[in-house]
């Protein structure tokens, strides 16, 4: 278990797992790929930049599914649960899915590659700029 980010050091029971901040972009990307499972746990939104950052590397993600009544931001429509990542909804569900996916490296790789493809297609600078320009043109 490794947790990226300095804030984890303040929790005594997690301090030994804190890796701090990555020193370089390469180190940051390597952390995604070295992990068999990347978790995204954001209690208010299902979309976090680390999903895109790890996705471009082809990393596999288990993402906490925020209840609809608490969510203020959902994952982009182009990213599909089960194809590009996997949702979990409770600690027990997380444990079961970790056990399941740890035994299936080929499936983790396939889902990670699906996420990588979706991120490259949907979140490329070319696509984002084109969408922005098209939206701007349609508003004038």
Q: Given this model, what pLDDT does residue 73 score?
A: 64
Which DSSP string corresponds to the chain? --EEBGGGGGSTTTGGGEEES-SSHHHHHHHHHH-SSEEE--SS-S--HHHHHHHTTT--EEEE---TTT-S-PPPTTS-BTTTBEEE-SHHHHHHHHHHHHT-HHHHHHHHHHHHHHHHHHS-HHHHHHHHHHHHHHH-
72 band by pLDDT with thresholds 50, 70 and 90: low
- The model's pTM is 0.80
Compute the mean pLDDT over every residue in the chain, rounded to the nearest whole number. Answer: 86
Bigger pLDDT: 102 vs 46: 102
Average pLDDT over residues 41-49: 74
109 band by pLDDT with thresholds 50, 70 and 90: very high
Tokens for 137? 């043109």
Statement: residue 58 has pLDDT above 70: yes
């Amino acid at each position: 278990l490794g947790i990226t980010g300095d804030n984890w050091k303040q929790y005594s029971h997690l301090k030994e797992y804190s890796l701090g901040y990555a020193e370089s972009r390469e180190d940051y990307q390597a952390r995604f790929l070295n992990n068999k499972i990347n978790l995204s746990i954001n209690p208010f939104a299902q979309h976090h930049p680390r999903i895109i950052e790890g996705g471009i590397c082809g990393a596999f993600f288990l993402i906490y599914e925020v209840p609809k009544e608490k969510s203020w931001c959902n994952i982009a429509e182009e990213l599909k649960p089960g194809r590009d990542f996997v949702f979990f909804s409770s600690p027990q569900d997380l444990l079961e899915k970790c056990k399941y996916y740890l035994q299936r490296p080929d499936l983790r790789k396939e889902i990670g590659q699906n996420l990588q493809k979706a991120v490259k297609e949907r979140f490329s600078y070319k696509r984002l700029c084109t969408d922005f320009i098209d939206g701007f043109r349609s508003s004038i």
